[in-house]
Structures are given as C-alpha cells and as structure tokens.
C-alpha cells in the first residue's frame, strides 16, 4: 500500500523526488526503467530527475549509476532526513490535515489565501484528499474543510499519517504535554512491553481528539475493559485532570478504553497481554478456534515448537485477542501488510507458505477472523508473534543498540520497532552511557559507528545502515532468526 504521506504530495516533481529517494534508500539497485514504469513517466524524465536530485542534495547524497542500475550513497543521514521532512511539512495537504487534526478548521477561501492559490485550485487539491478519505470510509466537507465519518476511522487515518511516519511528530500538537508525560509513566508502569515513543504518540492522538465525537466502541468490548487494570487506572487519572472536567464519565471511559486497546495492540509478549486479559477467549466465544489453530500449528511446526501445549495455547490465545480487538473496533490497526509479508517471507519462505495454506483451510479462523482480513497478512503476523514469544526455535541473547533520530525511514522504523524489538532488547545510546561493565550478549546489532562501548569477547557484531537500506536490514533479520528451509 502506498504510504499516505507520499500520496498527499500534489506537486508532480516533488512526488517523483520522494519516491525516487525512498526507493533508493530501500533497495540496493534499481533500473531507470523500473522508476519510470512505477511513476508512469518516460525514462528521459527519470534521467533528468536524477540529475536535478543530485544537484539539490549534493551535500547529502551521491547518486551512482552502473550496469546494475541506479544506487545511492548517503553522505549525511541527518541532512537527508531534514530535507525530506521539509518536503512533507511544506506540502499543502499536510498543512490541511494538520489543521483538521488540531481542530483549527478553515473555509476553502481561507486556505486559498494561506496557500496562495485561487479557490478553484484549492478545491482541485481537496479532491486528492477526498480520495484518501474514501479509503478510510470517510468523506471530506469543504465548508469548513474537515473529515466526516466515524471518529474511530478518522483516528485510523491520523495513526497512519502521524504515528507510523517518522517525519510528522504528533506530540508537537498535543495541547496538554505535561499531562501526557505523566500518563505515559503510568502506562509504562503497567505495560512495560510497549515503547515510550509509541505510548506518547497514542496518548497525543487521544488528547488532541478527546471527545470530538463518540467512538462507538462496541458494548461487549467496553464491558470487557471495565475489568482491565490499564483502563481502570487511566480512568482514575483522567477524571482528575482539569482539562477533561467538562466531559462525562462515559466519554472519559470510552477514551480510556481506546487507549487500552491501542496499547494492547502494540504489546509483543503474550505474558504481558495475558497479565491483564485472562479469560478473553471464553468471554468472546472463540476458545474452540484457539484449540483448532493450536492443532494446525503443531501439525506444521512439529518438533520446532519450543513451548509446551499450555504455553502454545496461551500464545495463540493472546494473538487472537489482538485480532479480536481490531475486529471489534471495525478497523485494522496492524502495520503495513505488504511489509509484514515481505519480511516474514524473507525469514522462512517455506514455513510461511505452509502456514498460510493451513490458515486458509481452517474454517473457524475463516469465519471468525478473516471476513475482512487478508489471510497472508494474518499468517505473517501470527508467525512473527510466534517468533516473538519464542514458540519457534530462537537464537541467543540479542541487543539492538541505536542512535536516536537516525532510523527515521518508515519501513526501517517498522522493522526495528515492530520486528527486531520482538526478538531483541532495544537500547539507545544514552542508556549505553550508564553501563559500566562490558555488554555481554551473544549478538549486538547497531547503527552506532564506530561502536565505542565494551562488549563481551564472544559477542557477534552486526552493523545496520544509519538510514533505510531495507534489503540490508532484512538480511540481518534473516540472520538473527532461525531458518530451517532456506
């Protein structure tokens, strides 16, 4: 699926620049013909664009051509990130969506003044935004310009635009930053499995959109979360905040339920999920589905299963718990399906295909979970969840040591935060400063070059590119995960 941020770019040249840069970051070599076909322009246009991009980004990148195609060498990752960020931040439709996010709604005539276009041109730009809205089951009103539709779907759009992207910081627009920081500490104390950055983004979105409209979370999901420790603690804190004094307890509870859903969807380890959500399968009536799926997994994985029957049941139960939340919210909050499928296919292609075949034959899964869900993405997410929880054969201790602010590409961020985090401990540079003894782990993956900290004698080092070489990153992930059939 094309990134929503790229789709908001209306200038044809800028759109080509961003696509070319992103493609060259993610792939080692591409042909001019591939770029031309993808962008539906001539090879001559691409050749001219490459020259212009090299001139514009001369202090940042070096574009190389060879018989293999076009490649890119990054001279300064930070400058490249900042230049790409300015492309996005200055885009007209990004300004419009940010205005809608913060509730600063404007008429078309006001946008024509601000963007320095005539009203007719502004309306033409809004048609592009309207097409994106339709993808989310939303409409676009022009007087004033705002999204029309279910609030939960509006939030899904903002999640894809602001939470999944490294270029737009949703925390910058949060009107209650101090309150957000305090609530973040409470969430992390109860759910340590979720990263601080993701937690802040979820809370920022909630604070910004708080009470804009009813979320219409289904009653049985609300009833379940009435006994959820995270929801209850959030509710106790929220009703004491002055900024929400005007809202009813029903509205506050629904918002707390939304936060809890989002947090639990980002948890990776079944022990953390199970800690707050025992009995979920029985409550929603899919216990038999769990049993059938466990039997299917045992038939495919065989002796590669590294946990006992009870643990495997719990792991599958927690995975389906997350799937049921997505279903009950009537929206899929999972990450990019295509990225997930590509990654898991690169890890273990044969096992992925075997599991996908079994999933498609499982009538209970088809009936209860795949009515509006792609089977291949369901399979890839399940297999990753099994790797996460060491249900399949795993490697030894893995640590990922990162610089802050450099791993900013969407796809690379997704792999590090979503996938490597599930199999490794992530540490940032400031944390390494506090460690006195050598970092004694089996495998260390890092983008800190040179690596100035002491490591164990037997530690194997893997170096990540500082910026978005997705092929190299996938190679590293493949090395870290056990592969029986490659």
- DSSP assignments along 150-167, one per residue: -HHHHHHHHIIIIIS-SS
Q: Give per-residue pLDDT as tens, 302-314.
A: 877 888 999 999 9
Query: Which pLDDT value is given to residue 195?
Result: 82
Residues (pLDDT < 50) of the chain are 1-2, 333-336, 394-396, 406-413, 420-422, 468, 481-486
CATH topology of 3-76 equal to that of 398-481?
no
Using the structure block, give the residue that is written with the tokens 């092929």: 471
Closest CA to 167 of 10, 54, 18: 18
- Omega before 109 cis (within 30°)? no
pLDDT at 205: 94
Q: How far apart are CA 211 and CA 206, in angstroms?
A: 9
The sign of the torsion formed by the CA atoms of 253, 102, 189, 416 equals positive
Cβ(203)–Cβ(171) below 8 Å: no
Residue 217 neighbours by CB under 8 Å, 6+ apart = 152, 254, 257, 258, 261, 328, 329
Tokens found for residue 467 = 């910026």
Q: Domain map of the chain by residue range?
A: 3-76, 91-149, 171-266, 276-389, 398-481
pLDDT at position 258 is: 95
Q: In what order do the strands lie in the sheet with 443-446?
A: 425-428, 398-402, 443-446, 460-463
Condensed to tens digits (0 to 9), the pLDDT of residues 253-262 reads 999 999 999 9
Q: Residue 402: beta bridge partners?
A: 428
Residues 6+ apart with CB under 8 A from 74: 25, 60, 61, 80, 465, 466, 467
- Residue-level pLDDT at 409: 43
CATH number belonging to the domain at 91-149, selected among 3.40.50, 1.10.287, 1.10.10, 1.10.3470: 1.10.10
Distance separating alpha carbons of residues 372 and 374, to the nearest angstrom: 7
The rounded distance, in Å, linking the Cα atoms of 233 and 256 is: 9
**Predicted TM-score of the model (pTM):** 0.74
Q: Can you tell me the distance from the alpha carbon of 396 to that of 377, in angstroms, rounded to the nearest whole number?
A: 27
The beta-strand segments (E) located in 75-166 are 139-142, 145-148
Domain covering 3-76 in this structure, CATH number: 1.10.10.10
**CATH architecture observed for domain 398-481:** 3-Layer(aba) Sandwich (3.40)
Q: In this predicted structure, what is the pLDDT of residue 465?
A: 61
């Amino acid at each position: 699926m094309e990134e929503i941020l790229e789709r908001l770019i209306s200038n044809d040249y800028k759109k080509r620049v961003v696509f070319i840069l992103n493609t060259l970051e993610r792939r080692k070599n591409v042909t001019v013909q591939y770029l031309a076909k993808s962008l539906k322009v001539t090879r001559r246009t691409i050749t001219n664009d490459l020259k212009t991009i090299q001139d514009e980004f001369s202090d940042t990148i070096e574009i190389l051509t060879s018989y293999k195609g076009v490649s890119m060498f990054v001279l300064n990752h930070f400058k490249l990130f900042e230049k790409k960020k300015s492309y996005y931040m200055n885009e007209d439709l990004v300004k419009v969506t940010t205005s809608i996010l913060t509730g600063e709604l404007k008429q078309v005539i006001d946008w024509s003044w601000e963007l320095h276009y005539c009203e007719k041109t502004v309306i033409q730009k809004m048609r592009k935004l309207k097409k994106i809205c339709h993808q989310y089951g939303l409409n676009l009103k022009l007087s004033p310009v705002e999204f029309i539709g279910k609030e939960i779907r509006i939030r899904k759009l903002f999640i894809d635009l602001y939470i999944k992207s490294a270029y737009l910081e949703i925390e910058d627009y949060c009107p209650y930053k101090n309150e957000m920081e305090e609530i973040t500490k409470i969430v992390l104390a109860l759910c340590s499995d979720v990263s601080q950055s993701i937690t802040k983004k979820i809370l920022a979105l909630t604070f910004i959109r708080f009470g804009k409209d009813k979320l219409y979370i289904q009653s049985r999901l609300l009833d379940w979360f009435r006994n959820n420790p995270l929801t209850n603690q959030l509710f106790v804190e929220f009703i004491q905040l002055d900024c929400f004094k005007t809202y009813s307890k029903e509205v506050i509870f629904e918002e707390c339920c939304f936060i809890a859903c989002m947090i639990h969807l980002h948890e990776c380890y079944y022990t953390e999920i199970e800690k707050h959500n025992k009995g979920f399968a029985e409550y929603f009536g899919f216990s038999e589905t769990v049993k059938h799926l466990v039997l299917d997994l045992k038939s495919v994985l065989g002796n590669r299963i590294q946990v006992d029957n009870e643990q495997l049941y719990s792991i599958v139960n927690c995975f389906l718990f997350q799937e049921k939340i997505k279903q009950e919210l009537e929206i899929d909050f999972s990450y990019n399906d295509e990225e997930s499928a590509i990654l898991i296919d690169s890890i273990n292609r044969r096992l992925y295909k075997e599991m996908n075949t079994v999933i498609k034959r499982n009538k209970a899964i088809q009936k209860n979970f795949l009515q509006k869900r792609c089977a291949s993405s369901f399979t890839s997410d399940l297999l990753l969840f099994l790797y996460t929880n060491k249900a399949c054969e795993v490697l030894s201790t893995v640590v990922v040591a990162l610089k802050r602010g450099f791993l900013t590409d969407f796809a690379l961020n997704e792999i590090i935060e979503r996938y490597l985090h599930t199999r490794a401990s992530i540490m940032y540079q400031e944390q390494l400063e506090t460690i006195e003894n050598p970092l004694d782990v089996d495998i260390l993956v890092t983008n800190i070059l040179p690596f100035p900290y002491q490591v164990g004698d037997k530690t194997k080092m893997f170096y990540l590119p500082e910026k978005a070489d997705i092929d190299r990153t996938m190679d590293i992930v493949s090395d870290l995960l056990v592969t029986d059939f490659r």
